[in-house]
Every structure is written in C-alpha cells, then in structure tokens.
C-alpha cells in the first residue's frame, strides 16, 4: 500500500546529478490524485478550465480531474480506446484513438472531426501519441499496439509500417516524416522546435530515445540515439523550458518505475520514484509547473521548479 511521504524533501525525488537540484521544490511531495483504473495514459492540461483529462484505455474512456474540487468524472465514454491526448494551438483537444485507428479533434461545441485515419488508401495502425507544433501541424506516432489484441482496441492486422506522421495545418495533407521505427511511441519537441525526440519502444537490443533535427518545420534529419534505456521502458515524454526531457518510465521494477529526467545532452540528472510504471505525463497547473503523471492504475502529481514547454 502506497502512502505519501510526510518528510521534506520527499525521498521519492532523487537528485542524480547536481544540476537537477534547482528543479526540486523542497516542500513539495508526490501526490496520488486518484487510483482504481486499468491503464492510464495521455494526460493533458486545460488551464482555462483548471482540469486535467487522461485516458483509461482498457475501460474505453477519457477521465477528468478538477483542480479546484479534486472531483473525478468521465469526460467521454466510449472514447474509442483513446490513448495520447494534447491540445492544438486554438485550445482544442486532439486525441489518438486505437479503436477508431484515427486522430481526432474535439471542436468547441463537442463535435468530433477526424484529422487522419488512413494513408495511401490503407488504414492507420493505432495512433499512440501526439503533439502539435507552433505552426499548428499535428505530429503523431502509429505503432500497432492497439490492434495487437482486444484489451486496448480491436485485434487486426497492420496495413502500414510503423511511422511518424505530420498533418499539414493548412491543407490537412498527411505525410510520413519518419519510417521503419521499431515501436514509435512518445514524442515531443525541444523548446525551440529545432529537435524532435521520439521513443523507440521496441528497439533492439534495448529501447531508446532518439533525436532528429527538424528542418523547415516539416522534415526530419540526422537521426541519432540520445538515450539508451537499458533495462527500462520509456513511454511518454515532455520537455521543460530548459530543454530537459521528463520521461515516463518503468518495467514493473521498483528500481525503474516512475519518471526519469535527462538534460538536453541525454545525461540522467533526476528521478521521481513511483510505486507503478509511469506511461505518460504532462505539465499543468496555473504556471505549468505541476507535473501530472499517468501511471498504471493511478494519477500522480508533483510541483517542480520549472515550467513545461507550451503545447506539451
């Protein structure tokens, strides 16, 4: 049974490199906001409403947590096995759906617009995670995880290779920006959008986080391995304004479960221990300095002394 720490600083927040010390708030501890779910994913903050949305994939729903009251409610059910979520630059919800094998946008009136569900006449696999660049382009990953069985979607055979896609904000045209990826998963931009970071969650012999240079806001060049995960499993990732990577992590092992924090050079500088594997995370709160962590069966939060990048 997990219990929150009553000691400051919280021993769950580990300073591995001295450079991480400035990001720890001395009197802030890891909080469990809610529990009792099946597989939490895709947290996204709505500051204008002071609430967080996140996916509970096997239960086919998107949930909502209200900052003011702490109330938990259902935002959408069925969600078509929603996974990753983000907001576009007009504040609308953008969602990856395993069940629909598509990426959608929720309009201001609640109606749903399909942004992408096929490429070259073939159905997408199961869009996983998504980010929106400052120019409005939607970037997403498309592994086959959601069609591998009936737990997080509907079993089906993949029709496309495992790609990363970009949806043009003006034309809506879908294009492949990276192909042949072994399990493309979480992705995010550096603060200036000159780099795209991508989790290759089926990499061999180990899982890894790779970096690309972004050329002209639409092409990727110079792929390189930034972080070798070793025995761990990175999943969702987000950047802070200093360029550090905050990575959901785990492998069902107390020594690995939680969040790993790497500097822009890929050096591990800090860690947040959780009692469950963390699938994904986002920054939120009034000043984007509260880290929300969607772990296996629970939702956690921690105040940190840095802001998340806008659009993350």
Per-residue confidence in pLDDT tens, the chain, 312 aa? 788 999 999 999 999 999 999 999 999 999 999 999 999 999 999 999 999 999 999 999 999 999 999 999 999 999 999 999 999 999 999 999 999 999 999 999 999 999 999 999 999 999 999 999 999 999 999 999 999 999 999 999 999 999 999 999 999 999 999 999 999 999 999 999 999 999 999 988 899 999 999 999 999 999 999 999 999 999 999 999 999 999 999 987 777 899 999 999 999 999 999 999 999 999 999 999 999 999 999 999 999 999 999 876
Per-residue model confidence (pLDDT) at position 221: 98
Q: Which domain holds residue 179?
A: 13-303
Interatomic CA distance for residues 303 and 94, integer angstroms: 25
**What per-residue confidence (pLDDT) applies to 255?**
78
| Alpha-carbon gap, residue 119 to 126, rounded angstroms | 12
Q: How long, in residues, is the chain? A: 312
- Domain membership flag for residue 7: no
235 in active site: yes
Q: Is residue 310 assigned to a domain?
A: no
Contact 127, 101 (CB under 8 A): yes
Strand ranges of the sheet holding 245-249, from the earlier edge strand across to the other edge: 13-15, 268-273, 258-262, 245-249, 237-239
d(CA 126, CA 188): 18
Going by the annotation, the residues of the binding site for a divalent metal cation are 41, 185, 235
The dihedral sign for the CA sequence 85, 87, 93, 97: negative
Task: Give the rounded distance of the alpha carbon of 96 from its chain centre.
Answer: 11
Contact (Cβ atoms closer than 8 angstroms) between residue 104 and residue 113? yes
Binding-site members for substrate are 128, 152
1: in domain: no
Three-state secondary structure readout of 106-159: ECCCCCEEEEECEECCEECCCCCCEEECCCCCEEEEECCHHHCCCCCCCCCCCC
> How far is residue 77's CA from residue 85's CA, in Å, rounded to a whole number?
15
Cβ neighbours of 161 (radius 10 Å): 13
Taking residue 102's Cβ as centre, other Cβ atoms within 10 Å add up to 20
Domain count, the chain: 1
Which residue is it, tokens 């929603």? 82
In a domain, 56, yes or no: yes
**CB of 299 closer than 8 Å to CB of 54:** yes
- Catalytic-labelled residue, pool 129, 235, 240, 257: 235
Residue with tokens 């802030």: 28
pTM as predicted: 0.97
Beta strands 72-76 and 82-87 are: unpaired
CATH number at residue 29: 2.120.10.30
Would you say residue 3 lies in a domain? Answer: no
Q: Tell me if 57 is assigned to some domain.
A: yes
Token representation of residue 85: 């979520």
Antiparallel, parallel or unpaired: β 174-178 and 184-189: unpaired
* Structure confidence at residue 2 (pLDDT): 82
- Asked if residue 98 is part of any domain, the answer here is yes
């Amino acid at each position: 049974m997990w219990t929150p720490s009553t000691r400051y600083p919280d021993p769950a927040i580990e300073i591995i490199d001295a450079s991480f010390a400035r990001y720890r708030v001395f009197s802030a501890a890891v909080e469990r906001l809610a529990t009792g779910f099946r597989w939490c994913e895709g947290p996204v903050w709505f500051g204008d409403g002071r609430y967080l949305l996140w996916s509970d994939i096997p239960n086919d729903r998107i949930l909502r947590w209200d900052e003011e009251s702490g109330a938990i409610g259902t935002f959408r059910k069925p969600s078509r096995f929603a996974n990753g979520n983000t907001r576009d630059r007009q504040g609308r919800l953008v969602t990856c759906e395993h069940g629909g094998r598509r990426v959608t946008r929720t309009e201001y009136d609640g109606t749903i617009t399909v942004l992408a569900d096929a490429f070259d006449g073939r159905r997408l696999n199961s869009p996983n995670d998504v980010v929106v660049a400052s120019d409005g382009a939607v970037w997403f990953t498309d592994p086959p995880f959601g069609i591998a069985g009936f737990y997080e979607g509907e079993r089906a055979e993949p029709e496309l290779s495992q790609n990363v896609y970009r949806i043009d904000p003006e034309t809506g045209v879908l294009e492949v920006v990276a192909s042949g990826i072994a399990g493309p998963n979480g992705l995010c931009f550096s603060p200036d959008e000159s780099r795209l970071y991508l989790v290759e969650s089926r990499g061999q012999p180990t899982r890894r986080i790779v970096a690309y240079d972004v050329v002209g806001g639409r092409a990727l060049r110079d792929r390189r391995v930034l972080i070798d995960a070793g025995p761990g499993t990175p999943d969702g990732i987000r950047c802070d304004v200093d360029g550090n990577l905050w990575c959901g992590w785990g492998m069902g092992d107390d020594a690995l479960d939680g969040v790993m924090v790497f500097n822009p050079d890929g050096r591990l500088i800090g860690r947040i221990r959780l009692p469950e594997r963390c699938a994904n995370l986002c920054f939120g709160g009034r000043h984007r300095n509260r880290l929300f962590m969607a772990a296996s069966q629970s939702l956690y939060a921690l105040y940190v002394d840095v802001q998340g990048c806008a659009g993350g």
